[in-house]
């Protein structure tokens, strides 16, 4: 029987060594053509989950399934097989130009500029001189403007950016899913995440505490924020995660 999911976690245990386990017994799955939002407070384990699913961190237990088969492959191998990772730290080469960033990522520059036409005037500019929003547009286009991309992991795409830019980025994510790319989206803006998501997992203290379709959960946003999304009081996760240490 064909596995319906592009990426799946079964009983996942993840963290930064046996003495620093962050995520326990986590089940999660993403199918082709859907946006799955992973919501949770600071410290819930969201970034640790994404890094482990990407192969950047080794799983400490359980199973990661990639394209229907168990895998322990590192990030670079999963990337070659169609996985894209966009982190809150903006996966771009700051000292290189926009044009060179597109070239070294082996993406189609025409497709990248079709996604974000505002980058065209900045092709000869060094990326470090761009705004945060432009850098994130470049990072996202590097992941999406490849023929091989079948799965996209996105961590806090909107961090520090204005609402207009965030809407542009999330629209591109939704459009990619509509062409068949599976997307797992960690996003701090719950309302915006629910606008583009098909399904939702709500995570707290390393566990999935609630899941459902976006349609089911849209009318429960206030309840979800009050019950599940308050900042964690202990330092089980984000204090150790990249970008928050």
Secondary structure of the chain as H, E, C letters: CCCCEEEEEEEEEEECCCCCEEEEEEEEEEECCCEEEEECCCCCCHHHHHHHHHCCCCCCEEEEEECCEECCCCHHHHHHCCEEEECCCCCCCCCCEHHHHHHHCCCCHHHHHHHCHHHHHHCCCEHHHCCHHHHHHHHHHHHHCCCCCCEEEEECCCCCCCHHHHHHHHHHHHHHHHCCCEEEEECCCHHHHHHHCCEEEEEECCEEEEEEEHHHHHHHHHHHHHHCCCCCCCCCCCCCCCCCC
Q: What φ, ψ does residue 229 adopt, rounded to 5°? A: -105, 10
- Which domains, ranges and CATH numbers included, belong to the chain? 5-227 (3.40.50.300)
146 to 34, 73, 149, 181, 206: CA distances (angstroms): 18, 21, 6, 11, 33
Residues in the chain: 245
Tens of pLDDT, residues 97-115: 999 999 998 889 999 999 9
Tens of pLDDT, residues 44-83: 999 999 999 999 999 999 999 999 999 999 999 999 999 9
The answer to whether 171 and 115 have CB atoms below 8 angstroms apart is no
Q: Comparing 153-157, 187-191, 215-219, 227-231, which segment has the lowest mean pLDDT?
A: 227-231
Tens of pLDDT, residues 148-202: 999 999 999 888 899 999 999 999 999 999 999 999 999 988 999 999 999 999 9
């Amino acid at each position: 029987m064909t596995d319906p999911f592009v990426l799946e976690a079964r009983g996942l245990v993840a963290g930064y060594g046996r003495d620093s386990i962050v995520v326990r017994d986590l089940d999660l799955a993403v199918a082709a053509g859907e946006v799955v939002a992973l919501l949770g407070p600071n410290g819930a384990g969201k970034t640790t989950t994404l890094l482990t699913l990407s192969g950047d961190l080794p799983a400490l237990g359980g199973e990661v399934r990639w394209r229907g088969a168990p895998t322990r492959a590192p990030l670079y191998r999963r990337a070659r097989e169609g996985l894209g990772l966009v982190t809150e730290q903006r996966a771009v080469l700051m000292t290189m130009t926009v044009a060179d960033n597109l070239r070294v990522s082996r993406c189609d520059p025409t497709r990248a500029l079709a996604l974000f036409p505002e980058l065209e005037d900045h092709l000869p500019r060094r990326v470090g001189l761009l705004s945060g929003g432009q850098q994130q547009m470049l990072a996202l286009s590097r992941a999406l403007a490849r023929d091989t991309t079948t799965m996209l992991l996105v961590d806090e795409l909107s961090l520090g950016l204005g609402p207009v830019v965030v809407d542009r980025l999330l629209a591109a994510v939704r459009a990619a899913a509509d062409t068949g790319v599976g997307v797992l989206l960690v996003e701090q803006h719950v309302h915006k995440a629910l606008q583009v998501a098909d399904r939702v997992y709500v995570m707290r203290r390393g566990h999935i505490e609630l899941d459902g379709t976006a349609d089911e959960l849209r009318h429960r946003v206030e309840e979800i924020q009050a019950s599940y999304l308050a900042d964690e009081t202990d330092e089980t996760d984000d204090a150790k995660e990249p970008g928050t240490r």
